[in-house]
């Protein structure tokens, strides 16, 4: 109970901080709220200083949505809004009632309009102490050429520097040499464990329901944690005030979204859905199994934003999506359900609070029947979370953030049941149940962003204090140092028993220095801990993935990462360029023994092996943010290795993500007001593979002999995609429609997806690759009104 006592004290301190803030509001005042935006592009400006020059000494910073709120005495006042790289603006306002205003800042130099490549301005990125961060808004996601006409956020993520796709067509990705399970993916702060539709060809994110996403590649803010390599924070889109409908009809899927508001703009809503109908084409297949199969997915998104008053906003996000594959009397269904409620409260112009409550459910089920028996196999992951974030700005130079997060995780790795009747008429019932495993993670965090030397330097430091608990009921299997079971039957832990715990400290540190208005240097250190682990060797988004929490025999994975870089804006901020170096040291990273048993096997501790890892590399990026031609090109050089006793005879080996050279080119070109073209090209060194070097006979087969894991590479991966969007009809009318033509793998590169060993009749062995895609054209009609 000590933990709850501690939490109560901390909450008490937080509440204590709130009270004086409330006290300040006791006198008669009005609220001045607003949004600060770029005058040319309309993009939001985060961290702009809004200061009252006359009538009060109040000031505040705009938040991540460009919003600010000030509580001020009634009367005339002069407001100053400043932001690096923009002209400072002053404005006189008569505050005779609560007011909401839009403030536009002009860039120091003016440029032509064009697509905003990134959700943040170049100036913001330059001065922030945060590094290794990529923010992308929905417009970019929508413009990237698509596979089967379906826009996919995660395919865009895979084209960012330092990020590589886990395999062809997959939703999984590696960040700076990490494995796919080392990426935390949040959707409106809810933790997601499997984000794939249709074996990973699509992700669960409907672009109509996404506002933007931020990828933290290592320098993760102190309020976040839980994974070693990265955090992908996906922010859902809010409905806009005017009722509107937009949709798209593609070759294998269609989607529809409606949005609007009620009660003025106090409550906005957005509902979006999409459904695939790939199975309509299956009767054309030659394979009988495929011909009669069912294969589709759907997902539904809902979002409500309720502005209770200027100091209180409530956001509700709902998601439900499901895939179904079936043939004859057997089938598999899987999917996610997500609910998130966020309450943003402004205590004063310097003190804010965000309370998040989230719930995620991922499950899959197989069902089948034979003459004798009906069978069912289910697996489920649930995660219930709460996060309380406070932001406090005692002075323009400081932004303190502190809070508490708590997540309870339920893992039911597998439960199979069969009921039937024998020929003799005897009823039979069979059960295979893997023990439920539960984890409880509680975290206190604190951080400060400290601006120094007239805001030329920014220092960011923070700390997370974690406590992880294993909670019963479960059966716990203890293994010795050779991974042999100490007790064959394990130890039964009663329900509610906190039978094991771990503490962890995660310091975070970042510094940036603005050498000139156009150049900054940055460095960061981050320690991260991971208490949940993926038991799957799939790199393609298998629905049958199993996650388990740490336990007495499965230590938390940990990582130290240092990174440093130079960031610059060039040619009057038309271009940005950056070079980042990183080095990661990993501990307790997990791999499997050779030929592990992961299928409905409860004593999983005997199949795992633990060791260390290292990743290092350099990322080079140039991007153009303005003009008719925008986009980016990046080159990443990186290496990633593992050393795990029991794997590869304990010798160092390449991790599956060790692909030294990676180039991403993404271009958007506005040919005219009606025509938009996009093109991307990806190149990556071939994936490491293990090849045999010898063979011998056994049971009329030639058994391969390996000497080194991942010591060879398959052919390099490269692919070009292109798309053309044609806006149809009268563009000034409310009814708008457009045609998007995409070609995936434009020049038909046969990229290996799987490698298998074959033998000629002469006994000579050769390798055969399976490739998934040749040229894949698609067409989608989009509309809105």
Partner 1 sequence: MKYTKIIYTVILLLTVLGGANGCTEPIELEGDDMNPKLVITGTLSTEPGYQIIEISSTVPYFGTDLPVNIDAARVLLNDMVLIRDAPGIYTTGGNFAAVEGETYLLEVWIDFDGDGQEEYYSATTTVPYIHVLESLSVRSLIPGEVDVPFILLAGFQDTPGEDYYGAALWINDDLYSNRILRYYVHSLNDYSQDGSYIRYPIPEWILTESLVWDNGETYDLYSGDVLTVELQTLSKEYYRFLQEAKIEKNQHFPLFSGPRGNVTGNITGGALGIFGSYAVSRKSAILPKCPGLPER
Looking only at residues 255 through 314 of this chain, which bind partner 1 when binding is defined by CB under 8 A? Answer: 285, 287, 289-290, 293, 295
Please state the closest distance from residue 600 (CB atom) to partner 1, in A. 7
Q: Which residue's entry shows tokens 């064009």? A: 114
> Among residues 341 and 755, whose Cβ is nearest to partner 1?
755
**Minimum distance from residue 708 beta carbon to partner 1 (Å):** 9
Q: Show the site string, 630-669: x = touches partner 1 by CB under 8 A, - = not.
A: ----------------------------------------
Residues in Cβ contact with 648 at an 8 Å cutoff, skipping those fewer than 6 apart: 708, 709
Please identify, among the stretches 233-241, 393-401, 514-522, 702-710, the one whose residues bind partner 1 according to the rule CB under 8 A.
702-710
Q: Least separation, in Å, of the C-beta of 400 and partner 1?
A: 46
Residues in the chain: 785
List the one residue from 309, 675, 774, 777 that touches partner 1 (CB under 8 A).
774
User: What is the distance between the alpha carbons of residues 409 and 381, in angstroms, rounded to a whole number?
Assistant: 7
454 binds partner 1 (CB under 8 A): no
Does 699 contact partner 1 by CB under 8 A? yes
> Which of these segments, 13-21, 47-55, 237-245, 707-715, binds partner 1 (CB under 8 A)?
707-715
Site for partner 1 in 413-442 (CB under 8 A): 416, 418, 422, 430-432
In a 3-state reduction of DSSP, which class is residue 281? helix
> What is the CB-side half-sphere exposure of residue 168 using CA atoms within 13 A?
24
Contacts of 614 (CB under 8 A, 6+ apart): 583, 584, 585, 586, 639, 640, 641
Among 13, 395, 705, 731, binds partner 1 (CB under 8 A): 705
Residue 384 vs 416, nearer CB to partner 1 = 416
Of the pair 671, 754, the CB lying nearest partner 1 is at 754
User: Which H/E stretch holds residue 635?
Assistant: strand 629-643
Contact at 8 Å (CB) between 343 and 314?
yes
Longest dimension (CA), the chain: 95
**Sole residue written with tokens 């990322």:** 619
* Binding to partner 1 in span 345-404, by CB under 8 A: 366, 368-373, 375, 377
Alpha helix positions (H), 277-363: 288-291
3-state secondary structure of 267: strand
Q: Name the minimum Å distance from CB 214 to partner 1.
A: 28
Q: Which is nearer to partner 1, 432 or 724 (CB)?
A: 432
Q: Does 444 bind partner 1 (CB under 8 A)?
A: no
Determine, following the binding rule CB under 8 A, whether residue 482 of this chain makes contact with partner 1. no
**Which residue, 60 or 710, has its beta carbon nearer to partner 1?**
710
Cα 278 from chain centre: 26
Cα→Cα distances 701→93, 184, 400, 696, Å? 86, 43, 66, 8
Neighbouring-strand partners of residue 668: 630, 678
- The answer to whether the CB of 303 falls within 8 A of the CB of 209 is yes
As a whole number of Å, the end-to-end CA separation of the chain is 56
Q: Closest separation between CB of residue 707 and partner 1, Å?
A: 5
CB of 776 to partner 1, least distance (A): 8
- To partner 1, the closest distance from the beta carbon of 310 in angstroms equals 51
CA distances from 645 to 134, 420, 731 (A): 36, 45, 64
Q: Which is nearer to partner 1, 507 or 694 (CB)?
A: 694
Please write down the HEC assignment for all residues of 555-568: CCEEEEEEEEEEEE
Binding segment for partner 1 (CB under 8 A), chosen from 64-72, 404-412, 511-519, 596-604, is 596-604
> Nearer to partner 1 by C-beta: 627 or 704?
704
Q: How far is CA 476 from the centre of its chain?
A: 32
**Distance of alpha carbon 533 from alpha carbon 230, whole angstroms:** 15
Sole binder of partner 1 in the list 330, 452, 671, 779 (CB under 8 A): 330
Give min distance, CB of 286 to partner 1, in A: 10
Q: Which residues, numbered 509-538, are part of the site for partner 1 (CB under 8 A)? A: 537-538
Q: Which value, in Å, is the radius of gyration of the alpha carbons in the chain?
A: 27
Whichever of 409 and 742 has its CB closer to partner 1, that residue is: 742
Candidate residues 99, 501, 639, 695; the one interacting with partner 1 per rule CB under 8 A: 695
Using CB under 8 A, which of 4, 5, 503, 697 touches partner 1?
697
Task: Report the residue from 92, 421, 492, 701 that binds partner 1 according to the rule CB under 8 A.
Answer: 701
By C-beta, is 76 or 694 nearer to partner 1? 694
Residues in contact with 593: Cβ distance below 8 Å, sequence separation at least 6, in sequence order: 483, 607, 608, 609, 646, 647
Q: Identify which of 349, 442, 461, 342 has the alpha carbon closest to the alpha carbon of residue 400.
A: 461
Helix (H, G, I), strand (E, B) or coil at 43: coil
Contact window for partner 1 (CB under 8 A) among 59-67, 182-190, 578-586, 758-766: 758-766
Candidate list 318, 384, 570, 755; residue touching partner 1; CB under 8 A? 755
Of 106, 128, 158, the C-alpha closest to 567 is 128
286 or 733: CB nearest partner 1: 286
Among 170, 179, 206, 301, binds partner 1 (CB under 8 A): 170
CB of 273 to partner 1, least distance (A): 23
491 binds partner 1 (CB under 8 A): no
Rank residues 199 and 249 by Cβ distance to partner 1 and give the closer one: 199
Specify whether the CB–CB gap between 332 and 326 falls below 8 A.
Answer: yes
Residue 462 backbone phi and psi in degrees, to 5: -165, 170
552 binds partner 1 (CB under 8 A): no
Within 13 Å of residue 62, how many CA atoms lie on the same side as its CB? Answer: 29
Q: Work out whether 758 is an interface residue with partner 1 (CB under 8 A).
A: yes
**Closest among 514, 522, 703 to 595, alpha carbons compared:** 703
Of 3, 104, 1, 17, the C-alpha closest to 401 is: 17
Number of residues that bind partner 1 (CB under 8 A): 92
- At its nearest, how many Å lie between partner 1 and the CB of residue 534? 13
Of the pair 28, 489, the CB lying nearest partner 1 is at: 489
DSSP type of residue 287: S
Q: Is the CB of 563 or the CB of 778 nearer to partner 1? A: 778
Residue whose CB is less far from partner 1, 279 or 455: 279
To which residue do tokens 């992308």 refer? 136
Instruction: Find out whether 217 and 140 touch, Cβ atoms under 8 Å.
Output: no
Q: Does 486 bind partner 1 (CB under 8 A)?
A: no
Site stretch for partner 1 (CB under 8 A), options 52-60, 132-140, 676-684, 772-780: 772-780
> What tokens appear for 606 in the block?
């005997």
- Contact call for residue 696 and partner 1 (CB under 8 A): yes
CA separation for the pair 350, 671 (Å, rounded): 46
């Amino acid at each position: 109970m000590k933990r709850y006592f501690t939490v109560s004290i901390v909450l008490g301190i937080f509440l204590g901080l709130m009270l004086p803030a409330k006290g300040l509001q006791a006198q008669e005042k009005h609220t001045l709220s607003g949004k600060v935006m770029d005058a040319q592009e309309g993009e939001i400006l985060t961290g702009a200083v809004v200061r009252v020059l006359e009538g009060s000494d109040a000031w505040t910073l705009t938040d991540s949505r460009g919003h600010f709120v000030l509580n001020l005495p009634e009367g005339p006042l002069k407001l100053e809004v400043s932001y690096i790289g923009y002209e400072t603006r002053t404005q006189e306002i008569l505050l005779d009632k609560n007011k909401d205003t839009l403030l536009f800042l002009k860039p120091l130099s003016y440029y032509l309009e064009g697509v905003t490549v990134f959700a943040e301005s170049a100036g913001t990125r330059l001065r922030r102490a945060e590094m290794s961060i990529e923010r992308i808004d929905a417009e970019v996601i929508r413009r990237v050429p698509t596979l089967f006409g379906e826009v996919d956020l995660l395919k865009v993520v895979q084209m960012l520097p330092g990020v590589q796709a886990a395999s062809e067509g997959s939703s999984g990705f590696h960040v700076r040499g990490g494995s796919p399970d080392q990426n935390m993916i949040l959707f409106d702060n809810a933790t997601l464990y499997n984000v794939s539709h249709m074996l990973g060809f699509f992700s669960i994110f409907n672009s109509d329901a996404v506002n933007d996403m931020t990828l933290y590649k290592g320098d993760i803010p102190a309020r976040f944690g839980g994974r070693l390599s990265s955090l992908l924070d996906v922010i859902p889109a809010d409905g806009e005030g005017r009722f509107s409908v937009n949709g798209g009809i593609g070759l294998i899927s269609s989607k529809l979204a409606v949005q609007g508001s009620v009660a003025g703009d106090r409550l906005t809503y957005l509902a979006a859905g999409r459904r695939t109908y790939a199975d309509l084409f299956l009767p054309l297949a030659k394979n009988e199994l495929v011909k009669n199969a069912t294969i589709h997915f759907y997902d539904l998104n809902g979002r409500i934003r309720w502005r209770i008053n200027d100091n209180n906003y409530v956001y509700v996000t709902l998601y439900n999506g499901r895939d179904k594959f079936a043939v004859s009397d057997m089938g598999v269904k899987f999917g996610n359900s997500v609910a998130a409620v966020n309450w943003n409260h402004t205590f004063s112009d310097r003190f804010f609070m965000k309370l998040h409550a989230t719930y995620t459910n991922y499950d899959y089920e197989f069902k089948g029947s034979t003459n004798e028996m009906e069978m069912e196999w289910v697996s489920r992951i649930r995660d219930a979370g709460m996060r309380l974030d406070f932001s406090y700005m005692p002075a323009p130079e400081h932004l303190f953030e502190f809070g508490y997060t708590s997540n309870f995780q339920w893992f039911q790795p597998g439960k199979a049941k069969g009921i039937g009747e024998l020929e003799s008429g005897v009823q039979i019932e069979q059960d295979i149940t893997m023990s439920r495993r539960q984890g409880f993670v509680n975290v206190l965090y604190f951080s400060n962003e400290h601006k120094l030397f007239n805001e030329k330097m920014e220092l960011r430091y923070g700390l997370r204090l974690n406590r992880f608990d294993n909670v019963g009921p479960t059966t716990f299997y203890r293994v010795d140092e050779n991974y042999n079971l100490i007790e064959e039957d394990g130890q039964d832990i009663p329900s509610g028993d906190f039978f094991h715990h771990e503490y962890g400290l995660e310091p975070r540190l970042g510094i940036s220095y603005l050498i000139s208005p156009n150049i900054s240097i940055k460095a960061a250190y981050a320690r991260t801990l991971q208490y949940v682990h993926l038991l799957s060797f799939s790199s393609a988004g298998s629905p049958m993935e199993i996650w388990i929490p740490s336990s007495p025999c499965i230590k938390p994975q940990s990582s130290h990462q240092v990174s440093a870089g130079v960031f610059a804006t060039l040619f009057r901020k038309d271009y940005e360029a950056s070079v980042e170096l990183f080095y990661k040291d990993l501990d307790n990273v997990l791999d499997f023994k050779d030929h592990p048993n992961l299928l409905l096997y409860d004593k999983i501790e005997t199949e795992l092996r633990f060791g260390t890892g290292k990743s290092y590399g350099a990322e080079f990026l140039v991007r153009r943010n303005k003009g008719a031609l925008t986009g980016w090109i990046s080159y990443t050089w990186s290496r990633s290795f593992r050393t795990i006793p029991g794997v590869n005879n304990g010798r160092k080996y390449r991790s599956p993500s060790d692909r030294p050279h990676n180039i991403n080119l993404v271009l958007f070109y506005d040919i005219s007001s009606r025509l938009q073209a996009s093109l991307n090209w990806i190149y990556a060194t071939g994936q490491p593979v293990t090849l045999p070097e010898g063979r011998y006979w056994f049971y009329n087969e030639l058994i391969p002999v390996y000497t080194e894991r991942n010591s060879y590479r398959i052919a390099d991966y490269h692919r070009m995609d292109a798309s053309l969007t044609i806006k149809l009809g009268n563009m000034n009318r409310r009814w708008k429609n457009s045609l998007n033509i995409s070609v995936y793998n434009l020049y038909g590169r046969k990229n290996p997806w799987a490698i298998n060993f074959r033998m000629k009749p002469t006994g000579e062995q050769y390798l055969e690759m399976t490739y998934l895609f040749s040229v894949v054209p698609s067409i989608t009609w989009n509309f809105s009104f």
